[in-house]
Structure 1
């Protein structure tokens, strides 16, 4: 087990006795973040970004780390989330292996990585840890909280559990709960990891002989198939073959099509850059989240009670993982509570991951919304 922490990552220590919603406590835990832009004197120009399942806190290149971030073309000077105007804080989710305390972190009571002894994780824990970080940075009220995918769930949970912490919301490809199809896919991903003999009930080591590489590669391939759309696969790959590929009589099932090569390349890169146990915990907490259950009521009632000035809710017609009707539900629920809502149904071919790559479509409405609340 190993953590993968960007060089410019900063940390906030959570109070000892941090209580997890589904049982268990964390002592000596921390939350990782990076901040870009300049905090103004009134401390009211803060945009908080809550990530999806796998990103770290390095959202964009800056003076302390010039490598491109995971949302490089969206965040920065003159970009849709303009760091000449906004002070942007990106938080790595609790339970991750990218700096925040998770299964790959050392348990202070044993001196060994938590592994499967880590308490069951919930989206509510992720939200509470982010709220503690915001207050530790002496920010009373966020100008806006931005969440995409799992981060969209975390943003809703944060707003429900910490009323008044943010004035505005940008929710991208989010949901109030996971649907059966998405739960089924993530269940297969977890099974792939846990079925790898090298997973060893979560007690693997980070070396070639003891790391569940096969399970992680298969889990990532399954994920990639849901992050993009069938329409994009058709347009991007068709039935094109890998160049220079010759089928071996002894290995007739090696990748032959370009789409197979694409999946294999992504899986190979990901397999050794994310902790398998963190993958299991974060994946499961997405399945378990239900905004209504979280606050002891219905989902619509939870959305209606949010006291926000304005919200931008964006979804994509080709998203099969968090379908467009789930974003429409968020927009409708917020309107019932009096929030001024802009709802955007985009036609991007890139599916659930469109917000990461289709800046041409996502950038303008995000930039316009942030200009209006400025």
Structure 2
């Protein structure tokens, strides 16, 4: 087990004995973050960026780490989230393997990785630790909270639990809870990892690693991150060339789309910790904003103290369908917020916000320019 921490990552120590929502506590824990742009004298130009399941805190290049970040085209000088104006703090989620304390981190009580001794994780824990990190950096009020995918869930939780932290929000491809289809997919992903004999109840190492399970989990994920329309346009029924098919075994790869999934699995399987994947995946499925706030999702949304919001999604998203973003927009509007809802036509599905910057960028830039 090991963590995958970008070189410019910085850390905020959590209070010792940090209590988790579903029981248990963390000792010697930390939250990883990176920051972009300058904090102004008034300290009122801060945006908090909350990520999806797998990204680290390195959202964009900067002098301390010039390598491209996961949202490079969206964040930086002159880009839609313009760091000539904004000071952006990107937080790596609690439970991850990218710097924040998670299952592969060392438990100071034992000197060994937590593995499955890590307490059950909730979206509320992720929200609370992100809010703690912001305040620990001396920020009393945020200009905006931006959440993407899973990060949109943790952003809603943060708004509910820390109402004085901001009154402006951008929600991208998020939801108040998971629908049965996405729960089913993530259940299969977890099953693929857990049923790999090398998983060994979470006690794997580099020599005995559940690679087959991780590869299958990633392939299932990739099928939901993009849309059927994109698969058709990008691959059709094209076959792999002979050089890419190699030595064929019965029922081996034949189509280009299969080769693409193989490539994605190769890149991911040893770049994310399997136990972290299990914890974060289950955390997404268990989150329910209404349940967390003691009512329905619509009641919870209408009670959020948000003055203005931009809610975005894409018509081709099958993981968090666009009606879930419409639900967020309508709920915030019912509470009196000035909400702009944009259901975009991008073919890239759930991952459109990462790649279709031409559609997402202008709307984000316009919203932020009015703050």
TM bucket (normalised to shorter chain) is over 0.9
2:224 alignment partner in structure 1: 226
Distance in 2 separating the partners of 1:116 and 1:105: 11
1:239 alignment partner in structure 2: 237
Q: Gaps spanning 5+ residues in structure 2: where?
A: none
1:104 alignment partner in structure 2: 104
1:71 alignment partner in structure 2: 71
1:169 alignment partner in structure 2: 169
Q: Gaps spanning 5+ residues in structure 1: where?
A: none
Distance in 1 separating the partners of 2:125 and 2:246: 50
Contact conserved, 1:245 with 1:256, CA < 8 A, in 2? Answer: no
Per-residue Cα deviation, 1:307-346 (whole angstroms, up to 9, x for no partner): 1220000011000110011000000000011110000000
2:347 alignment partner in structure 1: 349
Residues 1:362 and 2:360 aligned together: yes
- 3-state SS of 1:332 partner: helix
Q: 1:15 to 1:245 in 2, by over 3 A?
A: same
Q: 1:349 to 1:250 in 2, by over 3 A?
A: closer
Instruction: Compute the TM-score of the two structures, normalised by the length of structure 1.
Output: 0.98
2:254 alignment partner in structure 1: 256
2:301 to 300, 303, 309: 303
2:321 to 320, 323, 333: 323
What is the CA-CA distance between 1:245 and the residue it aligns to?
A: 3.9
- 3-state SS of 2:98 partner: coil
Q: 1:246 to 1:340 in 2, by over 3 A?
A: closer
What is the CA-CA distance between 1:167 and the residue it aligns to?
A: 2.1
- 3-state SS of 1:38 partner: coil
1:338 alignment partner in structure 2: 336
Distance in 1 separating the partners of 2:321 and 2:92: 25
Query: Following superposition of structure 1 onto structure 2, how do residues 1-374 of structure 1 map, counting pairs within 5 Å?
Result: 1-207=1-207, 210-245=208-243, 251-373=249-371
Contact conserved, 1:141 with 1:167, CA < 8 A, in 2? Answer: no
- 3-state SS of 2:113 partner: coil
Distance in 1 separating the partners of 2:71 and 2:252: 33
What is the CA-CA distance between 1:252 and the residue it aligns to?
A: 2.9
Contact conserved, 1:309 with 1:339, CA < 8 A, in 2? Answer: yes
- 3-state SS of 1:142 partner: coil
What is the CA-CA distance between 1:82 and the residue it aligns to?
A: 0.4
Distance in 2 separating the partners of 1:250 and 1:366: 48
Distance in 1 separating the partners of 2:64 and 2:240: 39
Q: 1:358 to 1:248 in 2, by over 3 A?
A: closer
Distance in 2 separating the partners of 1:247 and 1:143: 52
Distance in 2 separating the partners of 1:142 and 1:246: 50
What is the CA-CA distance between 1:291 and the residue it aligns to?
A: 0.3
Q: 1:250 to 1:92 in 2, by over 3 A?
A: closer
Distance in 2 separating the partners of 1:107 and 1:125: 18
Distance in 2 separating the partners of 1:96 and 1:161: 21
Q: 1:291 to 1:196 in 2, by over 3 A?
A: same
Contact conserved, 1:188 with 1:219, CA < 8 A, in 2? Answer: yes
What is the CA-CA distance between 1:249 and the residue it aligns to?
A: 7.9
Instruction: Compute the TM-score of the two structures, normalised by the length of structure 2.
Output: 0.99
Distance in 1 separating the partners of 2:259 and 2:252: 10
What is the CA-CA distance between 1:256 and the residue it aligns to?
A: 1.9
Q: 1:42 to 1:200 in 2, by over 3 A?
A: same
Q: 1:111 to 1:152 in 2, by over 3 A?
A: same
What is the CA-CA distance between 1:91 and the residue it aligns to?
A: 0.3
- 3-state SS of 2:110 partner: coil
